[in-house]
């Protein structure tokens, strides 16, 4: 399949070779067998060379994949209504409620949200961004300064999660980019899949017995051998961290994924690890490391459990279509349509992508986890009866 992918430019190939040399050195250092989670982490995030840390275009029609905010500002405008409700429910003392976006991509969602929150008279004193990639931080700053120069001073970049936070945390397509362990349930036990050196590149290693937290997580899943899949310990740990750090407010997480009984269904016995390169999906995880995005479907049951166990309430869970409709995306489109012209047509076709069940409407889900929020959240008000965790 990977021989049908566009050939990377000489510069991109050189960057990938450099990254591969670092991964190879790491494999030698650890004795020849690297956990797939560590391989994925390096391939995506190794400073200067990993997929998100390097200079490729990534988002939008010119890049490798398109995310909801890259499709249309209607996504950010609808989300803003939910963010405004959360901010309004958090008292301004002892600390002012802020917005924190984690994994802000090109900065498009931040710019759209700031404008929409201004229109709703719900601007936070600070809009914080936590972004691992230095290259993307610079791009986010440029986007925000160009699109909303009068609001740019409110935006602050953090280097790590804040020790304590009140307000609204947003992450669109963050959880699917966190490293996962590749695992297998075999007749002779629970196994972890690793990566070895293979000729000039990398290949799958012989499986090793899964251990510790990974083995515990696998044993708790409703799976019968033989079965291959992934376990996202990093996503669980990320959510659990918020139990300690969130004082009052909510996390709004949007991503593609499934509840556990669907994700670990016998029909998905080869897992959901995929790569994206220039708008094409492929399954060759070792093809030019660092040039493709690597993702998996999020286990939303695990996300809810990790939050709940850490002291967060599960405030809502539904698919993206229901969430956006509940947030009034239909009315927002109608206002656009009234203006007519090409823009109105473009907005209608973007909305079709966001809402249609065969596009992003059903595969993407929204979940809200929070503390000290009593009012029902508007994004989850209707239509989620069939979405159970």
Ligand X SMILES: C[S@@+](CC[C@H](N)C(=O)[O-])C[C@H]1O[C@@H](n2cnc3c(N)ncnc32)[C@H](O)[C@@H]1O
C-alpha closest to that of 144 among 52, 76, 245 = 76
292 is a site residue for ligand X (CB under 6 A): no
| 174, 190, 235, 367: residue in contact with ligand X (rule CB under 6 A) | 174
Report 89-148 residues binding ligand X (CB under 6 A).
Answer: 102-105, 109, 130-133, 136
C-alpha closest to that of 78 among 123, 44, 109 = 109
CA distance 282 to 290: 14
| CA 237 to centroid of chain Cα atoms | 14
67 is a site residue for ligand X (CB under 6 A): yes
Smallest separation, CB 186 to ligand X (Å): 31
Report the residue number whose CB is nearest to ligand X: 103
Indicate left, alpha or beta for 189 from its phi (over 0: left) and psi (-120 to 50: alpha). left
DSSP 327: T
Report 314-343 residues binding ligand X (CB under 6 A).
Answer: none
Q: Which stretch binds ligand X (CB under 6 A): 172-180, 189-197, 316-324, 335-343?
A: 172-180
C-alpha closest to that of 133 among 103, 162, 108, 107 = 103
Structure tokens at 254: 């949007």
Smallest separation, CB 294 to ligand X (Å): 10
195 is a site residue for ligand X (CB under 6 A): no
Residue 76 or 249 having the CB closest to ligand X: 76
CA distance 36 to 182: 6
Report the SS3 class of residue 367: strand
Q: Which stretch binds ligand X (CB under 6 A): 64-72, 259-267, 320-328, 360-368?
A: 64-72
DSSP 347: H
165 is a site residue for ligand X (CB under 6 A): no
Residue 64 or 207 having the CB closest to ligand X: 64
CA distance 24 to 17: 10
194 is a site residue for ligand X (CB under 6 A): no
CA distance 179 to 303: 14
230 is a site residue for ligand X (CB under 6 A): no
59 is a site residue for ligand X (CB under 6 A): yes
Smallest separation, CB 279 to ligand X (Å): 14
What is the phi/psi pair of residue 227, to 5°? -160, 135
| 43, 177, 258, 304: residue in contact with ligand X (rule CB under 6 A) | 177
Q: Which residues bind ligand X (CB under 6 A)?
A: 52, 59, 67, 69-70, 102-105, 109, 130-133, 136, 172-174, 177-178
């Amino acid at each position: 399949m990977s021989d049908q992918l566009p050939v990377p430019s000489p510069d991109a190939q050189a960057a990938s070779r450099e990254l591969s040399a670092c991964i190879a050195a790491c494999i030698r250092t650890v004795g020849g067998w690297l956990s797939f989670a560590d391989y994925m982490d390096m391939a995506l995030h190794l400073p200067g060379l990993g997929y998100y840390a390097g200079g490729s275009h990534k988002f939008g029609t010119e890049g490798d994949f398109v995310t909801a905010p890259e499709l249309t500002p209607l996504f950010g405008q609808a989300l803003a209504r939910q963010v405004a409700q959360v901010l309004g429910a958090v008292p301004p003392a002892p600390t002012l409620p802020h917005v924190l976006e984690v994994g802000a991509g090109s900065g498009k969602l931040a710019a759209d949200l700031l404008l929409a929150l201004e229109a709703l008279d719900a601007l936070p004193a600070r809009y914080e961004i936590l972004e691992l990639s230095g290259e993307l931080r610079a791009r986010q700053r440029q986007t925000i300064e160009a699109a909303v120069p009068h609001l740019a001073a409110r935006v602050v970049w953090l280097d790590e999660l804040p020790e304590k936070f009140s307000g609204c945390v947003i992450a669109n397509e963050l959880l699917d980019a966190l490293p996962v362990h590749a695992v297998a349930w075999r007749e002779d036990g629970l196994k972890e899949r690793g990566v070895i050196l293979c000729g000039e590149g990398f290949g799958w290693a012989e499986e090793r017995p899964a251990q510790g937290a990974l083995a515990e997580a696998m044993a708790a899943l409703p799976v019968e051998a033989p079965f291959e899949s992934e376990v996202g310990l990093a996503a669980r740990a990320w959510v659990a961290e918020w139990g300690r750090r969130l004082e009052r407010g909510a996390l709004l997480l949007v991503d593609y994924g499934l509840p556990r009984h669907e994700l670990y269904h016998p029909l998905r016995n080869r897992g959901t690890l995929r790569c994206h390169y220039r708008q094409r999906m492929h399954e060759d995880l070792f093809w030019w490391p660092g040039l493709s995005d690597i993702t998996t479907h999020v286990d939303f049951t695990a996300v809810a459990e990790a939050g709940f166990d850490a002291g967060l309430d599960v405030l809502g869970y539904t698919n993206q279509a229901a969430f956006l409709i509940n947030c009034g995306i239909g009315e927002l489109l109608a206002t656009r349509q009234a203006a007519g012209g090409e823009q109105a047509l473009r907005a209608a076709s973007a909305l079709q992508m966001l809402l249609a069940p065969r596009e992003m409407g059903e595969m993407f889900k929204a979940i809200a986890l929070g503390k000290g929020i009593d009012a029902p959240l508007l994004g989850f008000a209707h239509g989620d009866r069939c979405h159970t965790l």
